[in-house]
Amino acid sequence: MTIELIRPGSKPETSESKPLISRDCGPEGCEVDWLASRRHETDLDVDSFNAFAMQQGWGDGLPLVPPTESRVRAFLAQNDRYPDEVIAHLPPTQVECTVEKVVINAVMAGAPPAALELIIAAIASVADTDFELYGVNTTTAPVYPAFVVNGPVRDELDIPYGYGCFGGVATEAVAIGRAVRLVMRNITGQIPGKTSQTTFGSPGRVAGIVVGEWEERSPWAPLAERRAGISGNAVTSFGTMGTMNIIDTTSHSALDFLEMIGKSVAYPGCNCFSGAVPFGEMMIALNPICAEIVGREMPAMEDVQEALWKFASVDADFLNRLHRDQLEQQGRVREDGRVYMTPEPKDMLVFVAGGLGGLHATGLHTFGTSLSQTRAIASPIPAGEAQAAE
Partner 1 sequence: MSRGMVLDPTATRDDDNPSPGPEAGVLAGKRVGFRVDRMWRAWDWISELWADKFREAGAQVSFWRSAGRSGEEGVRCEREYKEFLDSIDVAVIGLANCGSCTGWTIRDAITAANTGLPTTAIATRNFEDFAHEIAARGGRSGLRVHVLPYPLNEKRKEDVLPVGEEHFRQVLQTMGASLAVPEPAE
Binding mask 119-158 for partner 1 (x = CB under 8 A): ----------xxxx-xxxxxxxx-----------------
Nearest to 335 by CA among 302, 320, 352, 313: 313
Q: How far is CA 258 from CA 251, 262, 265, 290, 389, in A?
A: 9, 6, 11, 9, 50
The partner residues of 235 in beta bridges, in order of sequence, read 149, 375
Which one among 20, 25, 30, 35 touches partner 1, defined by CB under 8 A? 35
Nearer to partner 1, 67 or 151 (CB): 67
Which one among 55, 94, 231, 245 touches partner 1, defined by CB under 8 A? 94
Question: Which residues ranging from 38 to 57 are in contact with partner 1 (CB under 8 A)?
Answer: 38-45, 48-49, 56-57
Task: Please count the other Cβ atoms lying within 10 Å of the Cβ belonging to residue 245.
Answer: 11
Binding mask 231-260 for partner 1 (x = CB under 8 A): ------------------------------
Q: Establish if 8 lies at the interface with partner 1 (CB under 8 A).
A: yes
Nearer to partner 1, 183 or 314 (CB): 183
The partner residues of 243 in beta bridges, in order of sequence, read 364
Q: Establish if 325 lies at the interface with partner 1 (CB under 8 A).
A: no
Q: Establish if 189 lies at the interface with partner 1 (CB under 8 A).
A: yes
Q: What minimum distance in Å lies between the beta carbon of 228 and partner 1?
A: 15
Q: What minimum distance in Å lies between the beta carbon of 36 and partner 1?
A: 9
Q: What is the pairing mode between strands 95-98 and 338-340?
A: unpaired
Question: Which residues ranging from 332 to 371 are in contact with partner 1 (CB under 8 A)?
Answer: 368-371
Q: Which stretch binds partner 1 (CB under 8 A): 102-110, 154-162, 213-221, 252-260?
A: 102-110
Nearer to partner 1, 59 or 151 (CB): 59
Nearer to partner 1, 17 or 198 (CB): 198
Nearest to 276 by CA among 360, 344, 191, 368: 368
Question: Which residues ranging from 257 to 276 are in contact with partner 1 (CB under 8 A)?
Answer: 275-276
Q: Give the span between the Cα atoms of 138 and 216, in whole angstroms.
A: 38
Nearer to partner 1, 25 or 35 (CB): 35
Cβ neighbours of residue 9 closer than 8 Å, sequence gap 6 or more: 129, 130
Q: Establish if 104 lies at the interface with partner 1 (CB under 8 A).
A: yes
Q: Is 314 strand, coil or helix?
A: strand
Q: What minimum distance in Å lies between the beta carbon of 60 and partner 1?
A: 12
Q: What minimum distance in Å lies between the beta carbon of 70 and partner 1?
A: 9
Q: How far is CA 26 from CA 22, 23, 30, 77, 80, in A?
A: 12, 9, 7, 6, 11
Q: What minimum distance in Å lies between the beta carbon of 333 and partner 1?
A: 16
Q: Establish if 72 lies at the interface with partner 1 (CB under 8 A).
A: yes
Q: Which stretch binds partner 1 (CB under 8 A): 170-178, 196-204, 301-309, 354-362?
A: 196-204
Helix axis angle, 116-126 relative to 99-109, nearest 10°? Answer: 120
Q: Is 45 strand, coil or helix?
A: coil
Q: Establish if 165 lies at the interface with partner 1 (CB under 8 A).
A: no
The partner residues of 314 in beta bridges, in order of sequence, read 339
Which one among 15, 98, 218, 233 touches partner 1, defined by CB under 8 A? 98
DSSP, residue by residue, 98-152: EHHHHHHHHHHHT--GGGHHHHHHHHHHHTSGGG-HHHHHH-SS--EEEEEEEST
Q: What minimum distance in Å lies between the beta carbon of 146 and partner 1?
A: 17
Q: How far is CA 12 from CA 8, 224, 261, 284, in A?
A: 12, 20, 37, 30
Q: How far is CA 390 from CA 80, 385, 386, in A?
A: 19, 9, 6
The site that binds partner 1 (CB under 8 A) totals a number of residues, namely: 71
Which one among 79, 105, 271, 305 touches partner 1, defined by CB under 8 A? 105
